[in-house]
Structure 1
Amino acid sequence: MLASVMSRLGINDTLILAFKNIQRTSVSVGFVCDKKVVEVCVKIVKIGEIDTLHEQYTAEVLVKAKWREPALDFVQDAKGVDLGNYWHPKLYIANTIGTPSVAETNTFTIDKNHEAYMRLERRTRGMFMETLELREFPFDIQDLAVTVVSDRIEEVQIIQDRDEYSSVYRSDFADAQEWYLYSNVDVEETIAPYGHRTRSALVVKMKAARRPKYFIWNNFFVTFVITALSFSTFAVIPKLVQNRLQLSFTLLLTCVAYKFAVSQNLPKIPYLTYLDRYVLFGITTLALICVWHALVTLFLEHPKVALMDMIVLITLASIFVLFNVTFAIYIYATFKRRQRSAAPQKPHGYVQYTDAENAPVSPPAMEKREEHTHL
């Protein structure tokens, strides 16, 4: 309305256009709740080794950002513009480890509505920390996250770029023999706690499923064989208790040593993994066999000692077989269900919105912009 009044008063078109731009900037994507809106797109260019023991992974990440800069709306010649004098969001990746290699470039573009947008490309190479959920190890599927935040805690609202979606490139995945990398990424706009305050953050998560065949053959199968061999000690007559105990304790100590060797490949976690549970079951079975071989000395003079020995053998062997069958079915069903849930199910470009308590919230109302025209 005010623009039409200005036109009637004879004010030139340039001032009217400038006024319209200021109006659009104040009510559209320039500011949300007195915060500068920065649209971010994360491209995970390359992923190196995923280190389970130290809960970290190597990667090369390209963060692309853009934001409104009304002061550049009517700039005709970009050569004389010093972009260092203009506002900058000071974005960085929060979950990097040490001092990563960072390369940054800044440009600006103007669209057909004469709205200027500053553009940032920040390429980061280094180590990224990630708290791994290992309860289902080695049949686990991990979320590897990249968290983009700003040093301007009170000034910036980070959102997913509506013109260019975040993605991951799988062609240069260096750890493909041990992990399977999914093509989809999950994007979450969230309010992350920062001391006594909160700050806007964009979390981009890619999913990687561990290939379990190595652990099946080198851990589960070996434990299965060691435990199964313990039943061969019943072939020794009950009167030769010392021979039974010698064989049983040798297998038990082998299994215990194997358990400690397996633990060296995992971080010190306060819960049991699937592999831990299976190895502990094998140790428990061996321990029960050792206990029976020690107790059988009390029944050597009993006329039915051979029958008692056979009953214990059948009971322990039945428990062993039943556990293995149940465990295998459960692992297979759980692993397949997690694979289906990790596969792409949400539409391309879907964004999850959460608050500081990680509770889902409604997305902000924003309109799709027209394509920009680069200078």
Structure 2
Amino acid sequence: RYTAKKSKEDNQIYICEHRDIKGLFWEKLELHHFPSDVQDLSISIASMFYDDKVILIADPNHLSGVNREAFVDQQEWSLYEHVDTQQRFVKEFIFDDDDDDDDEEENDNNNQLNNTNNNEDRKRSILTITCHAARRSNYFYWNGYCLILLITLLSFCIFAISPHLTGNRIQISCTLLLTSITFRWVVNRSLPTISYLTSMDIYAILCIFILIILCIWHAIIGFLIFKNTSDSVVTSKMWFTSLDRYAFCISMSIFIGIHVIFLIWLIFVPLKHRKNMANKDIQYGLSIVEKKRNRKSKWSKEQRKKSSAYTPVPILDTNVI
């Protein structure tokens, strides 16, 4: 449908074309920052004409919006209120249509355009409208990161066992290693198959490597004790005990350092991006409130003008007999 409206700013008449499009759209998920990821849901609008005839821009007088109440998957995702628009230009793209007649008409139009304008610098205009959805990640923090952290922390409790009990140490370490691998496999079942590692995958793999390194260390210290002692018994005054303590301190320091680096990255990369999205929501809400105030002020001014158009008529007090 079409509407015509005269602008009060420049006294120009603008003809608007309104289209209601209903369809099922597909978006590829970017899971590098999973589970703290923010997905960009974009729709691109293009024209078959070049930029010398049609340029698509966002309406500066009306803000774009999204209906958050109609969002179905609110249990897993949080949809932001603001909508971003981006204007870009491309040289060529292909229009696909199932109707052969429409294809012929489009080809004729393109041929006419190519004949009338042979300039190589001309481009086609594209307007991209993007809304953003953030994953509700509390479930994955508690059931993913927290459990992996606890399993890895238990591996440091093995140092409380005497170093000469190598079999007990390796047995517990291998049990924790298999538990961590099984848990990671269960978590990956809830994710689509992708060709790259997410942030949770990297964290889980680092913890698995820590378990493997500790298991190797327990085997090394057991071999040294077996090689250098006759009865394979270690006391607190022997250098094997001091070496085992140094290994515990170094491994614990590395473990803490990895988590400090990971927390810094988490705060300054994915969580900062979420904070920027929240700030855009606040700015979007303030702009809507400001536009409503401007409309109210304009309406009140118009009402004052209408009321001032009436001329007051004095009424004389006359006595009628």
Taking structure 1 as the reference length, what is the TM-score of the superposition? 0.57
Alpha-carbon deviation of 1:338? Answer: 1.7
Match for 1:120: what amino acid?
Answer: H
Does the 8 Å contact 1:108/1:116 carry over to 2?
A: no
Tell me the alpha carbon deviations over residues 100-144 of structure 1, each in whole angstroms, 9 at most, x when there is no partner: xxxxxxx33444689683633222131x22233332221222221
Q: List aligned pairs for 1:222-301, cutoff 5 A.
A: 222-300=147-225, 301=228
User: Counterpart in 1 of 2:136?
Assistant: 211
Q: Distance in 2 between matches of 1:194 and 1:260?
A: 44
User: Counterpart in 2 of 1:324?
Assistant: 259
User: Counterpart in 1 of 2:80?
Assistant: 182
For the pair 1:160 / 2:160, whether they are aligned, the reply is: no
Match for 1:299: what amino acid?
Answer: L
Structure richer in helix, relative to its length: 2
Match for 1:138: what amino acid?
Answer: P
Q: Distance in 1 between matches of 2:137 and 2:268?
A: 14
Q: Distance in 1 between matches of 2:30 and 2:202?
A: 16
Match for 1:139: what amino acid?
Answer: S
Tell me the alpha carbon deviations over residues 298-353 of structure 1, each in whole angstroms, 9 at most, x when there is no partner: 2113542222122212221222223223423442343442233222258959xxxx
Q: 1:115 to 1:290 in 2, by over 3 A?
A: same
Q: Distance in 2 between matches of 1:183 and 1:316?
A: 46
Q: Distance in 2 between matches of 1:238 and 1:304?
A: 11
Q: 1:110 to 1:291 in 2, by over 3 A?
A: closer
2:17 to 119, 122, 126: 119
Alpha-carbon deviation of 1:156? Answer: 4.6
User: Counterpart in 2 of 1:139?
Assistant: 36
Q: 1:194 to 1:133 in 2, by over 3 A?
A: farther
Alpha-carbon deviation of 1:292? Answer: 0.5
Q: Distance in 1 between matches of 2:181 and 2:123?
A: 47
Q: 1:292 to 1:200 in 2, by over 3 A?
A: same
User: Counterpart in 2 of 1:315?
Assistant: 250
Does the 8 Å contact 2:173/2:211 carry over to 1?
A: yes
1:220 to 121, 145, 159: 145
Does the 8 Å contact 1:137/1:274 carry over to 2?
A: yes
Q: 1:114 to 1:320 in 2, by over 3 A?
A: closer
User: Counterpart in 2 of 1:108?
Assistant: 2
Does the 8 Å contact 2:36/2:271 carry over to 1?
A: no
- Give percent identity, aligned residues only: 34
1:200 to 105, 108, 125: 125
Q: Distance in 1 between matches of 2:190 and 2:49?
A: 39
Alpha-carbon deviation of 1:228? Answer: 0.7
The total of aligned residue pairs comes to: 241
Q: Distance in 2 between matches of 1:247 and 1:203?
A: 55
- Secondary structure in 2 matching 1:158: coil
Alpha-carbon deviation of 1:177? Answer: 2.6
Greater Cα offset, 332-341 or 304-313: 332-341
Q: Distance in 2 between matches of 1:145 and 1:310?
A: 55
- Secondary structure in 2 matching 1:259: helix
Does the 8 Å contact 1:143/1:207 carry over to 2?
A: yes
For the pair 1:173 / 2:173, whether they are aligned, the reply is: no
Q: Distance in 2 between matches of 1:312 and 1:246?
A: 19
Alpha-carbon RMSD across the aligned residues, in angstroms, is 2.9
2:240 to 281, 285, 305: 305
